[in-house]
Structure 1
């Protein structure tokens, strides 16, 4: 989420005479304390907010009523509409298994094959046109346009909601003498994928193969008992 979106949330929170702690703010937006302090400074210095800090309570608050500058609010409304449009396009692309031509705000342009997303639909995970796993935040996207280019599937990621602590791993399979690499973040998805594709053989990495052997041994023991 962009700094401006975070500030909107903080302002709405403080405008109701509620308070916000550094810990709550950093955990909610998954940012560092240093980044949070830069946000607070921007709100206080650049936007002129009466933002104060209570050492006794360890929380930030408004010392008087305050409204964000109208130009800032108008800009944020436009950004929110743009981000919602990008999120909608990417969600539909996942559902329909379509590639998307992305243009980022920094100017770079590439083909993206979206596969899964976070709970707020603000971060999407998929395959970059060069083949590596790519993470896209909707607030970094200028335009998103569905493409007719062949969609690169990730069967163990497709249409999944990715938890905050997810860790992605690659696994290579052999099928009909051809090698294919897929990604997963839940070991259970890997097991189900293998169970539903009996003709494939996993060839790498060794740590995943070793873990599968352990699971197999446990299952054999349970079933034999």
Structure 2
């Protein structure tokens, strides 16, 4: 019997939107997946040859790129940060919409013009994406890598600006920050390991097609 197909799904904001979409594609996790007290990370589904692993969003791309999982669901921000050549992203799921933006304190922004920047010090969990963006504009970017609580960096003098995911902008506003530049619009994607797709196309292609149909139906209903 062939090894099961493993789909990596992210903890956090995307997961709540991804689960109904997977269900429309015919993939439903076992009841334990919804148990808030469960420490399990791998779960069976209603399909005997498909299982789910639940990991941090940034780790979804790594698990799939290295073949530990064959498919995954992840934000396009993560794909832009890691730029793994081993990944194929055939379906925009139309969920998890947000943006990667540059933000700074409101009082600084009042007299600031991003077009005049030549050097910036930025706190971010996207150092590669941030450097590429600013290099394309001829701006030297010094990136301070953080994993969270980005809004504290300007408040405590770690950096004057941040690059982070923004949805409503409420967290920025509550910390005295404003968006001054949008780097990229973000949505969740279905990703596939390229080698696995070639070797196990008979098993993987129907899943990709089912998820694509589910995403199309969701978009049509929106």
If the length of structure 2 is used for normalisation, what is the TM-score?
A: 0.25
Structure ID, larger Rg: 1
Higher RCO, Cα 8 Å, sep 6+: 2
If the length of structure 1 is used for normalisation, what is the TM-score?
A: 0.24
